[in-house]
Amino acid sequence: MFRPEIKVIDCTVRDGGLMNKWQFDDKFVRAVYQGLTAAGVDYMEIGYLSSESAFSRDEVGPWKFCAEDDLLRIIGDSEKKIKFSVMADIGRIDHHDILPKKESVLDMVRVACYVHQIDKAIALAHHCEDKGYETTINLMAVSTVGPRELEEGLDDLAKSRVPIIYLVDSFGAFYQEDIELLAKKYLERLPGKTIGIHAHNNQQLAFANTISSVICGINYLDATLYGMGRGAGNCPTELLLSFLKNPKFDVRPLIKVIEEEILPWREKIDWGYFIPYMVGGVMNQHPRAAMACMESDKKNQITEFYDQMTSAASGI
């Protein structure tokens, strides 16, 4: 499907970093940057924007902070032809640590929040806008939010200056009919705003649900190379670009990066479709329990995990 308003945001480094504490070396990040640029992807989400006081560099890699020196090292001497986005979590970045846009190579700040944090998210996004950045608010864990609470939250977002609001399937719990219903609600409740989608692949539906969102009129689409991301991962960028049929996209550079940089990581860490993540998605649960199972010596004892999760859910 081709629609000129559609923008693709590749989150490989940011979302994939949740699996290894953003311990990607420059070679990996530069290869992703160059591959996405050659492929015609609109934005590269290169990590998180966090204050140095919130995390220790002894524990997390540079892409948890996205300092200017680190970003410039990746760009090198070449002209930057892709936009850089970063994600900011409420309470993890001090306003005074955000440089004015004219002093940064970053282009967009995406504020992630839960429904009870919308007021704080709007304040942070407005602060970033005032400093010259493009902004979005990514409303997480919507599958756990009741209809009235969601509508009130969307009404608050509608009054904000933030131009792009994201529908986020944090737990990979949604089916096509859920996406269609929520896309309609977001578009109706947020007139004049652009809607985005961030899907997780717990039930092998991230790509399908992203397609459904495009058909419904959602224009900002998140994806990662080979679906790399926390737990079950995300919509694969290479699949998404193949579907969109935009003549500016070239999938081959992505295949090359996957071969040279992503597949070696596949030998070290697990992401994608695994039964523990499937169980979490079906049950609309945070992936922490499934991730703990996958990181344990019981990762293949999936019946035991299934019984534990279903028993806990039923109160047994």
Q: Is residue 219 part of a domain?
A: yes
Note whether 176 and 213 are same-domain residues. Answer: yes
Q: Could you read off the pLDDT of 169-193 as tens digits, one per residue? A: 999 999 999 999 999 999 999 999 9
Note whether 174 and 297 are same-domain residues. Answer: no
Report the SS3 class of residue 242: helix
- Yes or no: say if 269 and 295 are a contact pair by the CB < 8 Å rule: no
Note whether 228 and 84 are same-domain residues. Answer: yes
For residue 247, the domain's CATH number is 3.20.20.70
Question: Residue 154 belongs to what domain range?
Answer: 7-266
Average pLDDT over all residues of the chain: 96
Residue 238, pLDDT > 90, answer: yes
Question: How many domains is the chain partitioned into structurally?
Answer: 2
Q: What integer is the mean pLDDT of 93-97?
A: 96
Joined tokens for residue 100? 């004015």
Note whether 105 and 174 are same-domain residues. Answer: yes
Phi, psi dihedrals of residue 2, rounded to the nearest 5°: -110, 130
Note whether 167 and 235 are same-domain residues. Answer: yes
Note whether 65 and 194 are same-domain residues. Answer: yes
Q: What integer is the mean pLDDT of 110-124?
A: 98
Predicted confidence at residue 247, as pLDDT, reads: 94
Q: Is residue 252 part of a domain?
A: yes
SS (H, E, C) 32-75: HHHHHHHHCCCEEEEEECCCCCCCCCCCCCHHHCCCHHHHHHHH
Q: Could you read off the pLDDT of 208-224 as tens digits, one per residue? A: 999 999 999 999 999 99
Note whether 98 and 207 are same-domain residues. Answer: yes
The closest alpha carbon to 25, from 67, 63, 69, belongs to 63
Residue in the block written with tokens 């994608």: 272
Q: Is residue 282 part of a domain?
A: yes
Q: Is residue 135 part of a domain?
A: yes
Note whether 180 and 138 are same-domain residues. Answer: yes
Q: Rounding to the nearest 10 degrees, give the CA dihedral for residues 245, 249, 250, 254.
A: -110
Predicted confidence at residue 298, as pLDDT, reads: 94
Separation CA 238–CA 253 (nearest Å) = 10
Predicted confidence at residue 2, as pLDDT, reads: 80
Separation CA 59–CA 88 (nearest Å) = 18
Q: Could you read off the pLDDT of 73-87 as tens digits, one per residue? A: 999 998 999 999 999
Residue 232, pLDDT > 90, answer: yes
Q: Is residue 2 part of a domain?
A: no
Note whether 145 and 260 are same-domain residues. Answer: yes
Separation CA 176–CA 157 (nearest Å) = 24
Model pTM score: 0.95
Note whether 83 and 228 are same-domain residues. Answer: yes
The closest alpha carbon to 194, from 6, 46, 44, belongs to 6
Q: Is residue 164 part of a domain?
A: yes
- Yes or no: say if 261 and 255 are a contact pair by the CB < 8 Å rule: no
Note whether 94 and 219 are same-domain residues. Answer: yes
Separation CA 266–CA 125 (nearest Å) = 35
